[in-house]
Amino acid sequence: MVGLLLVFFPAIFLEVSLLPRSPGRKVLLAGASSQRSVARMDGDVIIGALFSVHHQPPAEKVPERKCGEIREQYGIQRVEAMFHTLDKINADPVLLPNITLGSEIRDSCWHSSVALEQSIEFIRDSLISIRDEKDGFNRCLPDGQSLPPGRTKKPIAGVIGPGSSSVAIQVQNLLQLFDIPQIAYSATSIDLSDKTLYKYFLRVVPSDTLQARAMLDIVKRYNWTYVSAVHTEGRHYIWERRVLRKPGHSVDLTWILVCPHILSLFLEGLFVQGVILPFSDQLRLSRCKELIQCE
């Protein structure tokens, strides 16, 4: 029997060229290290952002949290897209009159430890800004001296990102302790819909609930009896698996297999939106790990 290997990469492709820099914008996106670079744009209200500008740290570099190579399409383009969006908003005299939006963009490297490290920097800067405002930091300076660089940072109004659901959950657990709102652009985990646990979280994409139901409708529509699934690490596939195995559905799913190594090959190569590959029983049994037998 020949099965179908279905790999879905929901994505929004942004064709963004390098934009001219605004006078008040300071951009630092040099190599990743323990002293990470930050992209900043001045404004009256500062919005934080966590984008995966670099790849995940290699296995041997995880303890050092040293990220991999730069992700041009998935990373740099999202940084430029945010700058472009803020420029358009600030140039509109009607949308936010007499108010300018700024940003502080940090690199999450698509890794939880790096994202948490950068989130702590957001919180630290906000706490320092609030403390200095309350304590009257200006009055502590001798006559004729100005504020040292770095002490004029404004607290962030909220954080956009990160992209991964598992990383977004950990970041939200930290940010909500300080009442900092978080808006995710691609985190789809159903867990994040629980407002009792994630009070300051909002997303602009549907959760996995609709995706799992759509997958089930496709299976039922074409009367498939054999499904092979490829998934990333995390809880996404668990919810989809529950929907597919939910009692009462008139779908006889013979096998659900997981081949994470195949997915990693796609992630290491070109950015793929979707692919359907036929594969034989011999390849399936030799390369894939049998996860579930549905009865």
Per-residue pLDDT tens, the chain, 295 aa: give them. 333 333 333 332 233 333 444 445 545 444 434 467 889 999 999 999 999 999 888 777 777 778 888 888 888 999 999 999 999 999 999 999 999 999 999 999 988 899 999 999 999 877 776 655 555 554 455 555 555 544 456 889 999 999 888 899 999 999 999 999 999 998 988 889 899 999 999 999 888 878 777 877 887 788 776 666 665 555 555 556 666 666 555 455 544 455 555 555 555 544 344 444 444 454 454 544 444 333 3
Whether the CB-CB separation of 54 and 70 falls below 8 Å is answered with: yes
Give the class (CATH, top level) of 38-133+152-203: alpha beta
Whether the CB-CB separation of 203 and 187 falls below 8 Å is answered with: yes
What pTM value is reported for the model? 0.66
Tell me the HSE value of 200 on the side-chain side, using a 13 A CA sphere: 19
Count CB atoms within 10 A of the CB of residue 276: 9
Contacts of 121 (CB under 8 A, 6+ apart): 106
Tell me, yes or no, if the two domains 38-133+152-203 and 208-293 fold the same way. yes
Query: Which fold, 208-293?
Result: Rossmann fold (3.40.50)
Whether the CB-CB separation of 4 and 228 falls below 8 Å is answered with: yes
Domain ranges of the chain: 38-133+152-203, 208-293
Count CB atoms within 10 A of the CB of residue 85: 12
